[in-house]
Amino acid sequence: MRNKVCRAAFVCCILLVLLCLPGMTAAAADADAVAGDLDGNGRVTLRDVLVVLKAAAKMETLEGEKQAAADVNGNGSVDAKDALLLFKKAVGKLYYLPGEKIEASGQIYIAGDSIASKHDEDPTYQRQLVGWGVVLGDLFDASVNVHNEARSGASAKSYLQTTNYPAFINQLAAGDYFLISFGHNDEKVSDPGRYTDPEGDSATPESYKWYLKKYYIEPAVRAGAYPVLLSSVVRCTFDMEGVLMAQSHASYAAAMAELAEECRAEGLQVGYIDLQKLTGDYYRTVGQTEAESLHAFDAEKLDTTHYCEKGARLAAQIITEEMQRQEYDICRFLKTVQ
């Protein structure tokens, strides 16, 4: 209830400010219908916000193409949510409105942990560790550049303290794809430098959702990049009957899915790939022996968390196949149809 009151007060404040701006007339609503551009000047400004606010407050009537252009969130009516989205775009908080096509630039950035990162060769390993981010680029043609900024041991929280984060977060541009995958290290309750709470909402500081939204999703949507959340892959742990065991980090996959839905409800273009479900389904299908062949192996034991090259390539293939299923524009750069 409190959030609704605050949102209403915020919208009222915007309206009061806009009413004080010079040159504001109802005639603006007669402009050509372009998504969000109600005064026909080719861009979204505070004047467009005023038109939508007046329509939402029943102070002005929009019909036909004009109403369709003002209904930027596509819910069938012109309301304060449309005005808020236009306001965010007008002040640079949002690059793409809902429904606007994000044309892939050919740049893919990866922020994540050791499941995706590059690893140095270890002579004690019979099957070396390989992150899926290292081989993802092999599936795309030369038009695509994959910037694998994943960092071993990182959580959504601790990654912010690495040199990787500032190196690229301000370089994100329109059409870039930003793949975000954390969870394995976020569950380390004994390590306050990495632990994030999977139960807290996106408005609660220190929660998993809060870190993902504030430091990864919001900077991306401001820049016009397309953030894609990828839940953490399953660990290769089977019981005595050969059944894949429950995953201790499952709550982070659930939180990530909820966050993606929340962002979409707010009009943000955010992708989600449930890599935990997809890899879990694959392991259950092929069985324990084949699943174990996908993982690194040192002189003594199987690494149930990290992939070898075979596993990394499979994970990359699973990711791109899901991108194709969801019709991501970046898929037009794939070498072959998978």
The pTM of the whole model exceeds 0.95? no
Backbone phi, psi, residue 334, to 5°: -65, 145
Q: DSSP 3-state assignment of 177?
A: strand
Of 61, 90, 119, at which residue does a domain stop? 90
What local confidence, expressed as pLDDT, does residue 35 receive? 67
Strand (E) or helix (H) holding 86 = helix 80-90
CA distance 211 to 197: 10
Q: Are residues 199 and 264 in the same domain?
A: yes
Same-domain pairing of 115 and 154: yes
Residues 79 and 144 in one domain: no
5-39 tens-digit pLDDT: 444 444 455 544 444 444 433 333 333 445 688 77
How many angstroms separate the CA atoms of 255 and 125, rounded?
34
Q: Which of 96-110, 141-155, 230-244, 284-298 has the lowest mean pLDDT?
A: 96-110
The domain of 54 spans 2-90
pLDDT (average), residues 310-325 = 98
The answer on 311 and 199 residing in a single domain is yes
38/141 same-domain check: no
Residue 95: inside a domain, yes or no?
Answer: no
Cβ atoms of residues 219 and 226 within 8 Å: no
Q: Residue 303: helix, strand or coil by DSSP?
A: strand
Whether 191 is covered by a domain: the verdict is yes
Domain-located, residue 55: yes
Structural domain count, the chain: 2
Q: Which pLDDT score is estimated for 92?
A: 84
Q: Does 275 reside within a domain?
A: yes
Residue 238: inside a domain: yes
Q: 6 and 135 share a domain?
A: no
Do residues 170 and 49 both lie within one domain? no
CA distance 228 to 225: 10
Same domain, 203 and 297: yes
Which CATH number characterizes residue 300's domain? Answer: 3.40.50.1110
